[in-house]
Structure 1
């Protein structure tokens, strides 16, 4: 089953890792008493500044994420923008070789070991992608933002901002935002008690780098020697598929509902996506198959939680960067339409 997650939150195409984290909050260096006062921004102002910065700068960097002892991977990024046009190349440096290219919402992933290239369209990209529709959310009602100091990351001075949830249905974030541009250079996802679940950061970063959009475009288009498979998202509605959410989860609103196919027939799995503007949760519903759907239960990989449960003739899976309590509320509220 395809599972859509937002690990790290920094860039949609990245799955990387840093050194093992100590469990608990990372201390932020105190600022000298003489530091100039910085105007306090609200949560929406901080988030929009960070979101916009990710789409306005050309940069090259090494990106890493960690979510527990021994869990480590890394990726090299080339990012360039020209007006409304954005292009990006991501090369995995650990694990199976993988190259991902993105031009706006068009994405192609090259898998050298199998000589397969998967082409798809992704609607949600970048840092906090649902902020593009921020008018539909009430983020300040569920999160508060506070600047807690400054630090240096990858050689850049950064503001350190904490996004603290106002309930226990969502995680918090500690974010290092480059002072001049607002670009996020480091981010920690915090559990409901403020402990670090996952960290994502640039270990090396070059801003305003000489990245050429046409060169990346040529590399993206060169599929010679690869079998190209097209992943299609067929839009639908939960109601037309026979599902309703009887009890909603505060702050989370439906974003999309679709079926997915990769080089073949449309799958039986329906994916219903919800977001509160920062966190997202996907509900997957498919016919129950005893030989495949063996055990119900919960699982966690860093900040990404999952929950599976059988409901009559159906197998439900909830996945998202949210506490298990939130996933349980979604699964318990999902029911067949009458």
Structure 2
């Protein structure tokens, strides 16, 4: 899941083709909410509508991995293979996803356009930082800075010709890069009939059923009493009785509740409260022995956010 999230800048983020009409138009780009909003909106779907093969690098802390991606669109459906180029060999095939399917992240970004006091744009400042060069292609860089302490920041480089996300740096409040995804080679001249990897594991998208969210909200006995403003409950296969997933358009955060393991002496297993970090991803666990459960919050958010959400959980009276 973590790699897939990085490749699309969060399975919630980026993908129609975006073309600047002329070099003079590119030079005329001025930093503004409108320009940044337009670029971000187009970025949310370009990666899903293009045919391409690419080599990408993915860095978490001091660990660096590389992959080959082949992505095609046939009859309105996405087909994508992901091949590991180092370490233990692993191939994935992702196919059958309708390109018209709208995910909650892109939906939040597109819904409010560039209105500063609405939705996604109320919680992030977006600046156009100008020209860049990534994977031998001209790019435009966006700086996305959170307006509060409950989110991380992003530095995104978009292909000038297509709007494809070529590089993504996720940074903390101090500007330190926690995680980086970057194209090192991109070939857009491939056929939609490109073959996928043989003998690879198949990964399929499961769409949520209408009405699931309301039904689960009624049946679930627990809920977080605090979620950062701007985060919306995402309706997906992850929102079962054990978990809830939230997004603000960029950041994704999930809350899971599991039962404590009973012991032979009649007690239950001890859970030590605390958090862990790997790159931009954190987890924070809190025990609720009075309810025979423990909660874990995971996501690409600051540790402060995960901790406050986990400790805010409450249970309905039985």
Which of the five TM-score ranges fits, normalised by the shorter chain?
Answer: 0.7 to 0.9
**4+ runs deviating over 4 angstroms:** 3-7, 228-236, 257-260, 290-294
- Name 1:295's counterpart in structure 2: 272
Q: 1:5: Cα distance to partner?
A: 8.0
Answering whether residue 233 of structure 2 is matched by residue 254 of structure 1, we say: yes
- Name 2:283's counterpart in structure 1: 306
* Structure 2 gap ranges (5+): 12-25, 113-117, 264-268
User: Aligned with 2:27: secondary structure?
Assistant: coil
Match of 1:102 among 94, 109, 113: 94
Contact 2:238–2:245 (CA under 8 A) maintained in structure 1? no
The whole-number CA distance in structure 1 between the counterparts of 2:130 and 2:81 is 32
The whole-number CA distance in structure 2 between the counterparts of 1:77 and 1:155 is 17
The whole-number CA distance in structure 2 between the counterparts of 1:172 and 1:151 is 19
Larger helix proportion of the pair: 2
- Give a deviation string over 1:123-149, Cα, whole Å, max 9, x none: 887xxx611354388111001211112
TM-score, structure 2 as length reference? 0.77
User: Aligned with 2:235: secondary structure?
Assistant: strand
Answering whether residue 146 of structure 2 is matched by residue 165 of structure 1, we say: yes
User: Aligned with 1:201: secondary structure?
Assistant: strand
Contact 1:237–1:257 (CA under 8 A) maintained in structure 2? no
Residues 198-237 of structure 1 aligned to structure 2 (within 5 Å): 198-212=179-193, 215-216=195-196, 237=216
Match of 1:320 among 291, 299, 309: 299
User: Aligned with 1:105: secondary structure?
Assistant: strand
- Give a deviation string over 1:303-331, Cα, whole Å, max 9, x none: 00111111121111100000011112211
- Name 2:47's counterpart in structure 1: 54
User: Aligned with 2:228: secondary structure?
Assistant: coil
**Pairwise CA RMSD:** 3.2
Q: 1:250: Cα distance to partner?
A: 1.0
TM-score, structure 1 as length reference? 0.73
The whole-number CA distance in structure 2 between the counterparts of 1:253 and 1:169 is 14
- Give a deviation string over 1:210-230, Cα, whole Å, max 9, x none: 3515x33xx67x68xx9x999
- Name 1:174's counterpart in structure 2: 155
Contact 2:36–2:128 (CA under 8 A) maintained in structure 1? no
- Name 1:111's counterpart in structure 2: none
Instruction: Identify which range, 135-144 or 297-306, moves more after superposition.
Output: 135-144
The whole-number CA distance in structure 1 between the counterparts of 2:223 and 2:248 is 18
The whole-number CA distance in structure 2 between the counterparts of 1:259 and 1:36 is 43
Going from structure 1 to structure 2, the CA distance change for 1:9 and 1:319 (only over 3 Å counts) comes to farther
The whole-number CA distance in structure 1 between the counterparts of 2:128 and 2:306 is 30
Larger strand proportion of the pair: 1
The whole-number CA distance in structure 2 between the counterparts of 1:46 and 1:229 is 29
The whole-number CA distance in structure 1 between the counterparts of 2:135 and 2:203 is 37
